[in-house]
Structure 1
Amino acid sequence: MGTHFFRRITAISSMIGAIGLGSATLAEPQHGIAMYGEPALPPDFVALPYANPDAPKGGRIVTAEVGSFDSLNPHILKGSSPWALRFTAYESLMGRNWDEPFTLYGLLAESIEVPEDRSWVEFTLREEAEFSDGTPATVEDVMWSYETLGTEGHPRYRGGWDKVASMEQTGPRSIRFDFNVEDRELPLILGLRPILKKAQWEDEDFTESGLDTIPIGTAPYVVEDFEAGRYVSLRRNPDYWGRDLPFMQGQANLDEIRMEFFGDAQAMFEALKGGIINSHRETNADKWETQYDFPAVERGDIVKSVIPHQRPSGMIGFVMNTRRDAFADWRVRDAMIHAFNFEFINDAMTGGQQERITSYFSNSVLGMQPGPATGRVAEYLEPYKAELLPGAMEGYELPAGDGSARNRGNVRRAISLLEEAGYTIEDGVMTAPDGEPFTFEILLAQGSQENQAIIDLYTQALERLGIAAQVTVIDPAQHTERINNFDFDMAYYQRGLSLSPGNEQKLYFGAEAADQPGSRNLMGVKSTAVDGLIDAMLNAGSTEDFTAATRALDRVLTSGRYVIPVYQWNVSRIAHAKELTYPETIPIYGDWFTWQTDVWWWEEAE
């Protein structure tokens, strides 16, 4: 790695000389950077708009997850680590304001500098920045982190690193990256990379770390205690270097963040009722209304809070792997969507109280609009018209059932689509074009009774089509391994999307990621339209173009029929200890990632 490392540091190409250095005079250090326009907060801001600078310190939050873990390194592909560690135990050069679509402010870095064309970016580290062990965070640590994550880390880091033409130290506390492609989001993407301590890994294999080595970071929380597969406890570092930063005012208020792990969702719910955990997100609207009448709620010890948001719905449902022959045909995928009796399932699972996801970016301004594509959206779609599936240009809506268990109309349409794809029904069995019975596996992780209940209803509907689907339920570690290797036919799928979609869309839906183990392109989509629209979105010169490109992408993905969508959550329902308190100002992203652990505080009852 050493030769490659120093080549990256010293290589300054002719392109950089012509573009990067030529635009240097247009740049100056700034306190923040927005994807479009200027940061909303001025250089002298005192706190994030949704944080309470006067919040007291103390208390604890105890949350729960279904599953287990066998690693405390969230930066590599190997193993399964608690998802929240990546966000609570590590910091980056810049920090995100969740009340703006995509704007960053200085965290480890005191400033960011970019030219108008964003062909390079330079960060200047704060002199006081240090790791949790008290040692300084240096440019050398930053450069090692970027190189190591980009070459040996999780695939999520590699796309951005491949676009770095050179990396060099430009001053005692400054580092500059020059890019080899046009991509306006890259300065922001690099600003969010976690920074690790180089010296910790001098005699260690970064890719093999598990429970024996906990990466050292600069964040206000450090892993204090854990039991493999059972719990992880993070404690607030009283000597945290950044406690006086304006960005951190009103953040990191709780003394302890504890994550408990349970075998299934019911056990998790019982843990809330029994006081083992003190905060729980409920995803079932009917359960929220009918089963939260236990003693702790009646006494007022547990409070029910509903948190709105303005972010996209994302996509939640059951993904079909197009790498498998059957699901390579869009008509088969369409038939599977028609066979999914959403109205009946929604009534059975939630009392019909939750709306269905209608597209990847539904519930937001970025979502596709009803009817035919018009205006700028149509212009973005036009070059790919020949490859688009029905509905992309004309308008696409998910099939609606009649609410009955039989779902006759949609079942007839599903059979018709399968016949168009060469399938036939022989003696009550759906037969594939190769003459074999059409069957496939639905892969689920242990612990989610709700998903299993949905699939039970779905397989009953498939039986009416003569399809005998096999449901395989395995432990979370095995499930993660199979998903990472795309070893499934159909599986549960959840993809959160933001108001500022960017380079991560290539990891989710890009052709290059389709064959890359560990990527999030689970459906295996390879589409020049998808790739081209992601590029158009990334390089949009205005908010209007960005919105139109995203709406066009939403049309292509949704009409691609890769996922069977279920219901959306346009609010968060959180049952929590009465002492856990949140600010009156809710960010536009609402309850998103670490909002709760970032800005909630413990307010002792009088």
Structure 2
Amino acid sequence: MACIRPLCLILAGFLGVASMSLPVGAEPAHAMAMYGEPALPQRFSALPYVNPDAPKGGMIRLAEPGGFDSLKPWVLKGNAAWGVGSHVVETLMYRTLDEPFTLYGLLAESMETSPDRRWVEFTLRPEARFSDGTPVTIEDVMWSYEVLGTQGHPRYHGAWAKVTKMEQTGERSIRFTFAEDDRELAMLMGLRPILKKAQWEGQDFSASGLEAPIGSGPYVVDQVDPGRMITFRRNPDYWGKDLPVNRGRNNLDVIRYDYFGDANAMFEAFKAGQVTVWRELSAHKWDGEYDFPLMTRGDAVKAEIPNGRPSGIMGLVMNTRNPLFADWRVRQAMIEAFNFRFINATLNGGKDRRITSYFANSGLAMQPGPAAGKVADLLEPFAADLPPGTLEGYTLPEGSDRVLDRTGLRRAIALLSEAGWTVQEGVLKNAEGRPFAFEILLNQSGTSMRTASETQQIADIYVQALRNLGMQVRITLLDAAQFVQRTNEFQFDMTWYERALSLSPGNEQLLYWGSDAADQPGSRNWMGMKSPAAEAVIAAMVNARSEADFTAAVRALDRILTAGRYVIPAGFSPVSRLAHAADLRYPAETTPLYGDWPGFMPELWWQEAEE
């Protein structure tokens, strides 16, 4: 569900698996967890990571790169303003940030499911209201699920395709029946945005637009300057302000997002006090470049937010739709030529950790050495088609302190030769005489985890190494809108890629790595992988009935992805670095498991009143 909008984009990275802890008799419950028991009892007073007594009022100003031309984050078309989906619209259930995957009632007061989880039923709270005062009805819920599943962004289509029946079972209750065994679907049905049918009915919902959505959430859209600024104002009549899941949340009266051309402009705005929170992505800058007046006079302070989530994947992704990168030996050669050790030392003083696998930094990560036990059992049926290292064990090259890792380049040359590429008169060519030439596509506004200057520097250093192999590489910078369009249509050879991953991966993994997603514009399968093994272990993941089976399936997937050599991994930080106005506070003593993640900032923050 991803930032740093952490990792923004799409908060879909949240979805997961294992066994739900509801009573066998399918009694209505206040919460559900994918495995184990929900941490909070039915009558809990507040979430454990909030300040339940946080004062209301004040304002926070945040910076975003690029621009926007839409207020509809639920469709593929357009570039939607950040915050609409999280501040204005709600879901039936709320996902806590302190458990791997547990949902508590929000619009729904309860849910129940069958022991085999082939259906799930939700009961709406009678007091639930949209911001215009009209009630949230089952009709709104049913319309929202159908329109999102048929006209919405592709990320909604997969789960909807598995619903065989949606029916109203009471004045305030709705039941979904599923076409297949998938133990995560009951939870996914609680996480779809609920929209007001009367606002959108009769329109082409798939079109982008700047009409302010009417939602049931704590904020309403206040002011919009397309492409430049959007503000959200707290609704004093918000129906759910006294719910336990909301106590201590949504404290600020105004949330404002200003859009800037690039990260440098955003940082300068923070230094000038025009932006009140800044996420610093560079450890080197964090340690050495925060002696400007705003900080030295105490008007702003620094904070580091730890987390216990997986590293996810970040780096340069190779598009295997291009025959150039279809061979795993070529992809390994590209990894060998990427000298992370030197790049990390040059850009970050060596402080970033290398991403060693997609689920690194967590108990879900693949283990060193050969696959064993349940992991091996899951992979063995596909052994003949898996790249070397999947079963045997795979590690990334160590790299060198020098700008050119000559040992790595020698290994790269050998692999390229095996794949049919040799240097001819200084140019790497194949047997037909075709040069090894490609484009690296970059977003000039930066990304959720890297500034544009950082990705450019990384690419520049990398290109120097590739030219030593005889490759012809060009770097193309695009504005945010063009970059989104190109990547949505998979029109690139190599580009910067980021995918945040949670502690409960599940159905969304098919949108990231599934065969259907490889041909679906707008999916996150930028590498174009089509792996029956990956789809099999994802199926095992979403139907696991024990935590041990779930962990084995994720570790098997981690091996398939990492040894697939689709992404050239960069580094990550186990903490988020936030510089913020001194009068802005967050519950520092009770940081949730996911840390600085969607739902943490600005939702948990407040502003202290002036003395």
Give the TM interval when normalised to the shorter protein: over 0.9
Which position in structure 1 is the counterpart of 2:424? 426
Using CA pairs under 8 Å that are at least 6 residues apart, name the structure with larger relative contact order, 1 or 2: 2
Secondary structure, aligned partner of 2:353 = coil
Range with greater deviation from structure 2 (236-245 or 24-33): 24-33
Give CA-to-partner distance per residue, 1:132-182, whole Å, 9 cap, x none.
111110000000000000000000100010000000000000000000010
**Structure-2 residue corresponding to 1:18:** none
Corresponding residue for 1:274? 272
Q: What is the alpha-carbon distance in structure 1 between the residues aligned to residue 54 and residue 28 of structure 2?
A: 31
Query: Deviation at 1:388?
Result: 1.2
* In 2: Cα distance, 1:393 partner to 1:605 partner: 60
The answer to whether structure 1 residue 472 and structure 2 residue 476 are counterparts is: yes
Aligned pairs (5 A) from 1:57-136: 57-136=56-135
**Alignment pair present for 1:581 and 2:585:** yes
**Matches of 2:62 and 2:36, distance apart in 1:** 37
Indicate the SS of the match to 2:354.
coil
SS in 1 for 2:132: coil
Q: Distance in 1 between matches of 2:36 and 2:166?
A: 26
CA distance in 2, matches of 1:67, 1:367: 34
1:55 aligns with 2:41: no
Q: Is the 8 A contact 1:380 1:549 kept in 2?
A: yes
- Residue type matched to 1:456 in 2? D
CA distance in 2, matches of 1:439, 1:283: 31
Letter in 1 for 2:387: L
Shift of 1:67: 1.1
Q: Report the alpha carbon displacement of residue 568 of structure 1 after superposing the two structures with TM.
A: 0.7
Question: Structure 1 residues 433 and 595, CA, compared in 2 at 3 Å: closer, same or farther?
Answer: farther
Deviation at residue 586 of structure 1 after TM alignment:
0.7
Does the 8 Å contact 2:439/2:475 carry over to 1? yes
SS at match of 2:110: strand
Inter-partner Cα distance in structure 2 for 1:398 and 1:385 = 21
**What is the CA deviation profile of residues 357-384 of structure 1, one whole-angstrom value per residue up to 9, with x for unaligned ones?**
1110000111111111112211221121
- How far does residue 85 in structure 1 lie from its aligned partner after superposition? 2.5
Structure 1 gaps of 5+ residues are 1-22
Are 1:24 and 1:115, in contact at CA under 8 Å, matched by a contact in 2? no
What's the offset of the Cα at 1:24? 12
- The equivalences for 1:270-349 within 5 A come to 270-349=268-347
Mapping of residues 361-376 of structure 1, within 5 Å: 361-376=359-374
| Counterpart amino acid of residue 119 in structure 2 | W
SS of 1:247 mapped into structure 2: coil
Matched to 2:352, the amino acid is Q
* Higher mean C-alpha deviation, range 372-381 or range 254-263: 372-381
Amino acid in structure 2 at the alignment position of 1:548? A
Q: Supply the distance in 1 between the matched residues of 2:441 and 2:341 (Cα, whole angstroms).
A: 23
Q: How far did residue 95 of structure 1 move?
A: 0.2
Distance across 1 between alignment mates of 2:308 and 2:184: 22
The structure 1 residue matched to 2:597, chosen from 583, 592, 599, is 592
Aligned to 2:348, which of 336, 350, 371? 350
1:247 matched residue in structure 2? 245
The residue aligned with 2:230 is: 232
1:391 aligns with 2:362: no
CA deviation after TM superposition for structure 1 residue 25, in Å: 8.5
Taking the aligned partners of 2:291 and 2:506, their CA distance within structure 1 comes to 42
Deviation by residue 1:83-112 (Cα, 9 ceiling, x = unmatched)? 432222211000011100000000000000
Kept in 1, the 8 Å contact 2:101–2:504? The answer is yes
From 260, 263, 276, the counterpart of 1:262 = 260
Q: Deviations over 1:523-576 (max 9, x none)?
A: 011001100011111111101110111011001100000001111121000000
Question: TM-score normalised to the size of structure 2?
Answer: 0.94
CA distance in structure 2 between the aligned counterparts of 1:26 and 1:511, rounded to whole angstroms: 37
User: Is the contact between residue 373 and residue 394 of structure 1 (CA under 8 Å) also seen in structure 2?
Assistant: yes
Partner of 2:535: 531
Shift of 1:26: 2.8
5+ residue gaps, structure 2, are 1-21, 446-451
Deviates more, 1:315-324 or 1:24-33: 24-33
The 10-residue stretch of structure 1 (499-508 or 433-442) with the greater mean CA deviation from structure 2: 433-442
Corresponding residue for 1:509? 513
Query: CA, structure 1 residues 136+379, in 2 after alignment: closer, same or farther (shift >3 Å)?
Result: same
Compute the displacement of 1:596 (Å): 1.3
> Which residue identity does 1:468 align to in structure 2?
Q
Are the counterparts in 2 of residues 236 and 254 from structure 1 also a CA contact under 8 Å?
Answer: yes
* Greater per-residue helix proportion: 1
Letter in 2 for 1:536: A
Q: Which residue number corresponds to residue 518 of structure 1?
A: 522
2:316 aligns to what SS in structure 1? strand
Counterpart CA distance in 1 for 2:103 and 2:24 is: 23
Alpha-carbon separation, structure 2, partners of 1:596 and 1:120: 34
Paired position in structure 2 for 1:490: 494
Amino acid at match of 1:154: H
CA distance in 2, matches of 1:93, 1:347: 46
Who is 1:5 aligned against?
A: none
Contact persistence 1:88–1:594 (CA under 8 A): no
Q: What SS class does the counterpart of residue 144 from structure 1 fall into?
A: helix
| Number of the residue aligned with 1:458 | 462
Could you say which residue in structure 1 is the equivalent of 2:6? none
SS of corresponding position for 1:573: strand
The separation in 1 between residues aligned to 2:570 and 2:81, in whole angstroms, is: 25
- TM-score, normalization by structure 1: 0.95
> For residue 538 of structure 1, what is the amino acid of its counterpart?
V
> Given residue 467 of structure 1, which amino acid in structure 2 is its aligned partner?
M
Aligned partner of 1:500: which letter? S
Q: What CA distance in whole angstroms lies between the structure 1 residues aligned with 2:169 and 2:609?
A: 49
In the alignment, the residues of structure 2 paired with residue 433 and residue 326 of structure 1 have an alpha-carbon distance, to the nearest angstrom, of 13
Residue 163 of structure 1 contacts residue 180 of structure 1 at CA under 8 Å; is this kept in 2? yes
Q: Distance in 1 between matches of 2:71 and 2:108?
A: 26
Give CA deviations for 1:326-378 in whole Å, capped at 9, x if unaligned.
11111111111111111111111111111111110000111111111112211
CA spacing shift, 1:278–1:25, aligned 2, 3 Å: closer
Partner of 2:30: 31
Structure 1 residue aligned with 2:185: 186
| 1:500 paired to 2:513 | no
For 1:179, the aligned partner's letter is: F
Report Cα offsets for 1:436-464 as digits up to 9, x if no partner. Answer: 11100111111211111111111111110
Match of 1:41 in 2: 40
SS in structure 2 opposite 1:271? helix
Q: CA deviation at 1:605?
A: 4.8
1:67 & 1:434 partners in 2: Cα distance? 42
Q: Give the residue type in structure 1 aligned to 2:571.
A: Y
Where does residue 9 of structure 2 map in the other structure? none
**Residue 206 of structure 1: SS of its match in structure 2?**
coil
Paired position in structure 2 for 1:442: 440
Counterpart selection for 1:553 from 550, 554, 557:
557
Query: How far apart, CA to CA, are the structure 1 residues paired with 2:55 and 2:152?
Result: 37
Decide whether aligned partners of structure 1 residues 394 and 24 sit closer, same or farther in structure 2, where only a CA change above 3 A counts: closer
- 1:104 aligned partner, one-letter code: L
Percent identical residues: 61
Q: What displacement does 1:432 show?
A: 2.6
Instruction: State the Cα distance separating 1:594 from its structure 2 match.
Output: 2.2
Partners of 1:241 and 1:228 lie apart in 2 by: 29
Residue correspondences, number = 583
